[in-house]
Structure 1
Amino acid sequence: MSENPGPPTVANVLALPVLAGGLPEVVAGEPGLDRPVRWVHITELTDPASFLKGGELVLTTGVPLPNDASQVRRYVDELADIGAAALVLELVRRFHRAPDALIRACRARDLPLITLSRDVNFLEVTQVVHALILGNQTEVLRRTQQIHDTFTALTLRGAGPEDVVRTAAEMSHRTVVLENLAHQAVICEPVGGSAEEALSHWERRSRATTVEVGTTVHEPDGWLATPVEFQGERWGRVVMLPTPGAAGFSAEDITVLERAAMTLTIARLIHSTSWERRAHRHVLRDLVEQRHRSPAEARARATALGLPATDATFLAVLIDTHQNATEVENLIAPALEQTGLVGALEERRVGALLSLRRGQPWQSTVEQLSRTAREVDPDAVVSVGCEVTDLSHAARSFREAGRVAEAVLPGSSEQLYHQLSDIGLRHLLHTLRNDVRVQDYVERQVGRLIEHDARHGTELLPTLRCYLDAAGNKTIAARRNGLSRQTLYERLRMLERLLDRDLEVGEQRTELHVALLALDVLRTS
C-alpha cells in the first residue's frame, strides 16, 4: 500500500496554479503552513468564525475588516479559536498591503496570514481545492476499506498472530511489535531497521509507557499503541514504532493498528497455543536454523522474551518422543519459563535451550526435564549438546545434541539423558546402520559364517563372538562357551578356514569384532 498523502496543507494549496497566480506572500504564522486544509471559505463578514468548523482556508478581500486594532484582534482571535487553517487576504480592492494590526494579531496567535498582490478568482480556488480535498477523502475511504478487507481475509483464513503483525508492518511501512502483559515482545516485524534496534531494552522502555485505554501515542519514545483485549480482559498490546525522520502517525496508521489488534483478538480466541509458546517456538527454530541476521539480533529477540542472554552459557536439549511433540512441549515449558526457550521442532521432537549462569551445573535441570517428559512418554529419549557461551552459537549445541540422539541405542530409556561422552563404537554403528557400506562390510566379514551355521546347524558365530569378547584369550573363551579347550581350538581353526583369517592377528580380530557389533545393531534396529 502506498503512503497516504493526507489532506492538503496550507503550503500545498498555495502552490496550486490557481493561487500561485496571485503571487502569495506569507507575512505571518509561517510555522503553520503545514496545517491541513479541510475546506475553503469565502467571507466578507466581520464575524466569519460563526460559520466555520475548523480547518478552513479563509479567503477575503479585506473589505469587512474593522479599522480599530482591538476589533482586528477579536477578528483574528475568533478565527484562531475555531481552528482556521489560514487567512488569505487579497490586496486589490481595499488594501495594498496588510494592515500592521492584522499582522501583529496573526503573529500573536500563530495564524498563517497570506497576502495576494494580484486578483484571484476565489470561486475557482474553492472549486479546485474542494475537488482536491474530496478526491483525497475518496482515496482515504478506499484505503480504509482495503485495510478492513485485508484484515478480514486474515481472520477468515485463521491466520496466526505472526501473519497479523507482519501484515500491519507491511501496510504501515513501520515496525510493529506485539507484547504480552509482562512487557515481553513476543512478535516483532522490523521495517527500515533491525530487530536489535527495535527490541533494545524493550521491557524497560515498555514499562516507561503508560498502558491506556484506546489507541494513544506514548512518550518518551513516541510509540503508537493499542490494547489487545476481549470482554474487558487485556492480553497485551500491539505497538507501532515511529520511523526516524518520517512524519508522525497518520489516521491510516491508527486504522491499521486498531484492525490489527482486533484481528489479533480473534486469532487468540481461535488458536489454542498462547502467544508466548508460539514466540518461543519461532525464536528457537530461528536459532537452530541460524536464521537470525546477526548475533546481536538473536540476543535481542531472546532477551525481549525474558531469556537471560548476557553473562550466561547455553545448552541445547532434544526430547524425542513417540507422542505428539506439542504435548511434551506444553508439559515442560512451565519449568523453563524464565530460564529457557522450549518449542516443538518436529512432529516427534521437542527442543529446549537452557540459559545457565556461568559455572552453573546443568545436570539436575536436564534430569528433571527428562522425568517431566516421561510423564507423557515413558520411552522419551533426552539428548544433550555442548555448552556454548554465545546465544548465536546455539545451533552448534543443537547439532551435537542431534548427533547424540541419532546414536542412542533402542532400549536405552532407563538412562535419563544422553550426551556425547556416552557415545561409543556400538552407538556410532547404530547411527550408520542404514549406510549400505556398513551393511556390505558385515556381509563381507561374516556373511559366509552365518550361512554355514544356517546350513549345517553349527554354532561357529557364537564361538567367534565369545572368543573376540574374551580379547583372544582361549581359556576364558572356552570357559564362557562351555567348551573344552580342544573343541574350541578345532572351531577356531574351522573359523579361520571359512573366513580366510588369522585370528592371532589383532587387526583382523578387530575387523571381525566391529562386523559382529554392526550385525547386532542391524538385527536390533
Structure 2
Amino acid sequence: MSEYVERSGTSEAGGPGGAPTGGVLTIADVLALPVLAAGRPEVVTGGAGLDRPVRWVHITELTDPASFLKGGELVLTTGMPLPQDTAGVRRYVDELADVGAAALVIELVRRYHRPPDALIQACRTRGLPLVTLAEDVNFLEVTQVVHTLILGNQTDAMRRTQRVHEAFTALTLRGSGPEEVVRAAAEMSGRTVVLENLVHQALICEPSGSTVDEALTGWEQRSRATPPGDHTQVSGPESWLVAPVAYQGERWGRVAMLPPPSGTPASAPAAFVPEDVTVLERTAMALTIARLIHATPWERTAHRSALRDLAEQRHHSPEDAHARLAALGLPTEGGLFLAVLADVRGKDDDSGPEARLSQELRTTGVPALVGTLAPGRLGVLLALRPSQPWRPVVERLSRVVLDLCPEAVVSVGPEVTLLSDAARSFRAAARVAEAALPGGPLPEGRTFHELSDIGLRHLLYALREDTRIQDYAERQLGRLIEHDARHGTDLLSTLRHYLDAAGNKTTTARLGALSRETVYQRLRTIERLLERDLESGEQRTELHVALTALDVLRLG
C-alpha cells in the first residue's frame, strides 16, 4: 500500500470531485480527487509533507519550469523534459525546491515506467514530495478541478474573515469586556484562548476542546518558554499562536490560542489556519479597546471572578480550581487557606477598600486573592504557610478596612488545608458576618469576628428574618407587651431584670429600683398573663430566649 493511500482515508468530501471545502487545499486533498486518484498516485518521497498547501497547479514540459512559478504550485509533468544526466536532474529539482513548489507529480506512461533513481534521490535530499502516476491522467482536467476548488476556498475564506471582522466590531461597539471578547475568540476558532499579563498570570481562560486544568496546569513555566513577539505568530515548544495586547501604546500582555491537547480526536485541526490568525489579531485589538473602556484593572477582575467561582463552588472540578488559581500566582499546595470577609455596606464604592487591601497584602508579601463578592462585601482568600500564624495578618487587614470604613464588619472562617474546602471557610465567614450585631462592641483584643464569637444573641440576630423566630417571640411575650401598651405598665422590664438576675428577687428589685413587695406582685401578674411558672428553670430559659429574640428583632 502506498504512503498516500494510507493517509487519504481521513479526507472529507464536500467540493467538486469529492474534495474537501472550506479550508486550505493540501497535497493530500488534491491526491484524493477522483481525477487524480484514477491515475493511482503513489508518494515516493516527502510523505511527511502532504499537508503542504497547494496554491495553484502548473503543467510543464520545460527543462526550467521554476522560472514560471511563484511558490506553492503542484507541478504536473509527463517526465519528457527531465534531463538525462544526474547533475541536470539535481538542478531541475533544486530549482523547484528553491522557488517553493508544493510537490512534483510525474506520469509514468510515456517516457518512464519507474521514476529515475537520480530524481528520487534529488527530491529526497531537498524534501520535495515526489508523486508518481501509474495511469494516464488528463492534466487539463486536474487544473480545472483544483483551480475551481482553490478559488472557491478563497471566496469562502474571505466570507469567513468578513464575519470575524463584523463579530469583533459588534463586540467593540457595545463595549464588551475582556471575558466576552475571549469567549467569542474561543467560539469562533474552536480552540482554547487565554489572556495573560506581563508576569505570565493567566487572567482569563476560555477552554474549547479541553478543560481549564489541561489548559492552565504549569501555566507560568509553559508561558515563559513561549517567547513574546511583536506580531501574531506561532511560538514556543507547544506551538502556541500568540498576539501582543497593548495599552496606551505599551505592551500590557498577550493573548494565546492553544493547539488541541494530546489525545484530542484526529478530526480536530492541529495546525493554525489564516482564519485563526485573523481571529487572534482581532481579539488583541478588541482587548486593547476594552482595556481603555473598562477602568477596573483586569487583574482585579480576574481575582473577583476566581473568588466568586471558588466561594460558590462553580468550578467544574478541584483540578480546574487548582490550575486556575495557580495560573493567577496563588500557591495551591502545601499550605493553609483562610477566608476573610469585609462587609462595607456603608461605602458607595467598594473599589477603594478592595485596592487598599490588595496593596496591603502585596506589602506584607502574603499570597492572596482579593475581590468584590457582592455589593458591599469584599472577599479575601489567604494562602498561608503551615507555620504562619493567621491572626496578625487578619488583624492588619481588619484595621485597614476599619480605617476606611469604621462601620465595617470583618469576619473570618476556619483554616482549611485543601483548596477545595475554601468554600466551607467562606460560608463560615459569611455566617459570622450575618451574626455580627450592628453597632455592637468588637471582641476583646481584636477587630474582627470569628465563629467562637457567635453566642445566643448573635445567632438569633442572624436568624432574625426567619418567621419561626418572629412567631416564637410573639407567642412567648405578645400578651405581656399588649398589657403594657394598654395599661401603661412596664412588666416587660421587670421580667427582663428577673431573668438577668437568674431568678433572684432581691437583685430584681435593685435593678428595677422597686420594693420587694412590688416585685412579687409584678411577677405574679406576669405568671398569670403568660401562664408560666417563673420558678421553673426551663420556662425561664424559654422566656430569656424570647426576650433576646425580641431585642434583635427590634434592631432591624
TM range (shorter): over 0.9
The structural deviation recorded for 1:91 is 3.6
Partner of 2:488: 457
Partner of 1:294: 317
- Structure 1 residue 523 and structure 2 residue 554: aligned? yes
The structural deviation recorded for 1:64 is 2.7
Partner of 1:259: 282
- Structure 1 residue 447 and structure 2 residue 478: aligned? yes
The structural deviation recorded for 1:221 is 2.4
Q: Is contact 1:336-1:342 (8 Å) kept?
A: no
Give the Cα–Cα distance (whole angstroms) in 2 for the partners of residues 413 and 331 of structure 1: 25
Question: How big is each residue's C-alpha offset from its partner over 1:179-211, in whole Å with a ceiling of 9 and x where there is no partner?
Answer: 111111111122222212221121122222222
The structural deviation recorded for 1:512 is 1.8
The structural deviation recorded for 1:388 is 1.1
Partner of 2:351: 326
Give the Cα–Cα distance (whole angstroms) in 1 for the partners of residues 157 and 358 of structure 2: 46
Q: Structure 1 500/88 Cα, relative in aligned 2: closer, same or farther at 3 Å? A: closer
What amino acid is the match of 1:440? D
Query: Partner of 1:166: helix, strand, or coil?
Result: helix
Partner of 1:191: 208
Partner of 1:152: 169
Q: Is contact 2:21-2:153 (8 Å) kept?
A: no
Give the Cα–Cα distance (whole angstroms) in 2 for the partners of residues 182 and 413 of structure 1: 43
Structure 1 unmatched runs, 5+? none
Query: Partner of 1:379: helix, strand, or coil?
Result: coil
Which segment drifts farther, 94-103 or 471-480? 94-103
CA-atom RMSD in angstroms:
2.2
Which segment drifts farther, 341-350 or 484-493? 484-493
Query: Partner of 2:170: helix, strand, or coil?
Result: helix
What amino acid is the match of 2:286? T
Which segment drifts farther, 111-120 or 260-269? 111-120
Give the Cα–Cα distance (whole angstroms) in 1 for the partners of residues 498 and 256 of structure 2: 73
Query: Of 427, 433, 448, which aligns to 2:464?
Result: 433
What amino acid is the match of 1:458? T
What amino acid is the match of 2:332? A
Query: Of 402, 409, 415, which aligns to 1:387?
Result: 415
Query: Partner of 1:26: helix, strand, or coil?
Result: strand
Give the Cα–Cα distance (whole angstroms) in 1 for the partners of residues 205 and 552 of structure 2: 47
Query: Of 124, 131, 134, which aligns to 1:114?
Result: 131
Query: Of 136, 141, 153, which aligns to 2:153?
Result: 136
Partner of 2:232: 215
TM-score by length of 1: 0.94
Q: Is contact 1:381-1:413 (8 Å) kept?
A: no
Query: Of 315, 327, 331, which aligns to 2:338?
Result: 315
Q: Is contact 2:27-2:103 (8 Å) kept?
A: yes
Partner of 2:217: 200
Query: Partner of 1:352: helix, strand, or coil?
Result: strand
- Structure 1 residue 396 and structure 2 residue 421: aligned? no
Which segment drifts farther, 150-159 or 434-443? 434-443
TM-score by length of 2: 0.89
Query: Of 340, 345, 348, which aligns to 2:368?
Result: 340
- Structure 1 residue 505 and structure 2 residue 522: aligned? no
The structural deviation recorded for 1:55 is 0.9
The structural deviation recorded for 1:162 is 1.2
What amino acid is the match of 1:509? R
Q: Structure 1 360/96 Cα, relative in aligned 2: closer, same or farther at 3 Å? A: closer
Query: Partner of 1:387: helix, strand, or coil?
Result: coil
Q: How does 1:461-472 map to 2 (within 5 A)?
A: 461-472=492-503
Partner of 2:270: 247
The structural deviation recorded for 1:256 is 1.7
The structural deviation recorded for 1:275 is 1.4
Partner of 1:38: 55
Q: Is contact 1:430-1:521 (8 Å) kept?
A: yes
Question: How big is each residue's C-alpha offset from its partner over 1:396-449, in whole Å with a ceiling of 9 and x where there is no partner?
Answer: 111111111121112126552111111111112212222333222222222222
Query: Of 163, 168, 175, which aligns to 2:185?
Result: 168
Q: Structure 1 470/170 Cα, relative in aligned 2: closer, same or farther at 3 Å? A: same
The structural deviation recorded for 1:473 is 1.0
The structural deviation recorded for 1:344 is 1.2
Question: How big is each residue's C-alpha offset from its partner over 1:59-95, in whole Å with a ceiling of 9 and x where there is no partner?
Answer: 2233333323222221121111111112222344444
Q: Is contact 1:228-1:262 (8 Å) kept?
A: yes
Give the Cα–Cα distance (whole angstroms) in 2 for the partners of residues 370 and 97 of structure 1: 85
Give the Cα–Cα distance (whole angstroms) in 1 for the partners of residues 387 and 43 of structure 2: 71
Give the Cα–Cα distance (whole angstroms) in 1 for the partners of residues 120 and 471 of structure 2: 100
- Structure 1 residue 84 and structure 2 residue 101: aligned? yes
Q: Is contact 1:290-1:395 (8 Å) kept?
A: yes
Q: Count the aligned residue pairs.
A: 524
Query: Of 44, 68, 74, which aligns to 2:85?
Result: 68
Partner of 1:485: 516
Q: Structure 1 151/214 Cα, relative in aligned 2: closer, same or farther at 3 Å? A: same
Query: Partner of 1:287: helix, strand, or coil?
Result: helix
Runs of 4+ displaced beyond 4 Å: 2-5
What amino acid is the match of 1:365? V
The structural deviation recorded for 1:4 is 8.1
Give the Cα–Cα distance (whole angstroms) in 1 for the partners of residues 296 and 229 of structure 2: 26
Give the Cα–Cα distance (whole angstroms) in 2 for the partners of residues 304 and 446 of structure 1: 57
Which segment drifts farther, 398-407 or 476-485? 476-485
The structural deviation recorded for 1:242 is 1.9
- Structure 1 residue 283 and structure 2 residue 311: aligned? no
Query: Partner of 2:194: helix, strand, or coil?
Result: strand
The structural deviation recorded for 1:96 is 4.1
Partner of 1:58: 75
Partner of 1:271: 294
Q: Is contact 1:383-1:404 (8 Å) kept?
A: yes
Query: Partner of 1:308: helix, strand, or coil?
Result: coil
Q: Structure 1 47/368 Cα, relative in aligned 2: closer, same or farther at 3 Å? A: same
What amino acid is the match of 2:147? H
The structural deviation recorded for 1:231 is 5.1
- Structure 1 residue 99 and structure 2 residue 116: aligned? yes
Question: How big is each residue's C-alpha offset from its partner over 1:140-194, in whole Å with a ceiling of 9 and x where there is no partner?
Answer: 1122112222222211221111112222222222221111111111111222222
- Structure 1 residue 21 and structure 2 residue 21: aligned? no
Q: Is contact 1:325-1:346 (8 Å) kept?
A: no
Query: Partner of 2:514: helix, strand, or coil?
Result: coil
Q: Structure 1 374/96 Cα, relative in aligned 2: closer, same or farther at 3 Å? A: same
Give the Cα–Cα distance (whole angstroms) in 2 for the partners of residues 366 and 375 of structure 1: 14
Which segment drifts farther, 158-167 or 237-246? 237-246
Q: Structure 1 97/449 Cα, relative in aligned 2: closer, same or farther at 3 Å? A: closer
Q: Percent identity?
A: 68
The structural deviation recorded for 1:131 is 0.5
Give the Cα–Cα distance (whole angstroms) in 1 for the partners of residues 338 and 51 of structure 2: 56
